[in-house]
């Protein structure tokens, strides 16, 4: 998969980066504190292991205030959108996974939200999934609950 374009929104010093087209050689040029690092850090959060902290949400354009006031929910605050181009072998593998899909699978779009969920668009179909961090966190809570229940049960036996 090759990253072709992306956009960072509502992240640190960025309200909206606009669509950034990716070329084989790129440079981010701008004055100090103009958002160059925020663009790179925002792009890095596309990782399944990345989680957002409160301070990652921009204070600009009233986004953090709307979040604090409950006007914006974490699941509705997009942080990054990215478009990837698939290689031929990746298209074949994806068609095998998504049996019955006949549409062109040249591109996949992925959006990540402040609640760490992902929206993946494949062949004009949208899928919303939680991040690996959320899965891992949920598994740990389940383990702790089971351990507590086991401890409580053993005191009654």
Kindly give the parts of the chain with pLDDT less than 70: 157
pLDDT of residue 157: 66
pLDDT of residue 9: 96
pLDDT of residue 57: 92
pLDDT of residue 47: 85
pLDDT of residue 7: 97
What is the domain partition of the chain in residue ranges? Answer: 2-132
pLDDT of residue 49: 77
pTM of the prediction? 0.81
CATH number for the segment(s) 2-132: 3.40.50.300
CA 145 to chain centre: 28
């Amino acid at each position: 998969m090759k990253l072709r374009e992306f956009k960072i929104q509502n992240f640190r010093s960025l309200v909206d980066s606009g669509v950034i087209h990716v070329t084989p050689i790129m440079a981010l040029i701008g004055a100090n504190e103009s958002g160059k690092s925020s663009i790179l850090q925002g792009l890095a959060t596309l990782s399944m292991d990345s989680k957002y902290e409160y301070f990652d949400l921009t204070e600009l354009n009233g986004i953090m205030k709307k979040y604090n006031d409950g006007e914006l929910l974490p699941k509705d605050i997009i942080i990054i959108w990215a478009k990837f181009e698939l290689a031929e072998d990746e298209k074949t593998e994806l068609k095998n996974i998504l049996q019955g899909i006949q549409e062109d699978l040249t591109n996949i779009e992925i959006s990540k939200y402040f609640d760490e969920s992902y929206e993946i668009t494949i062949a004009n179909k949208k899928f919303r999934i939680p991040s690996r961090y959320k899965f891992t966190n949920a598994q740990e809570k389940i383990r702790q609950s089971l351990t507590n229940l086991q401890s409580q049960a053993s005191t009654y036996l």
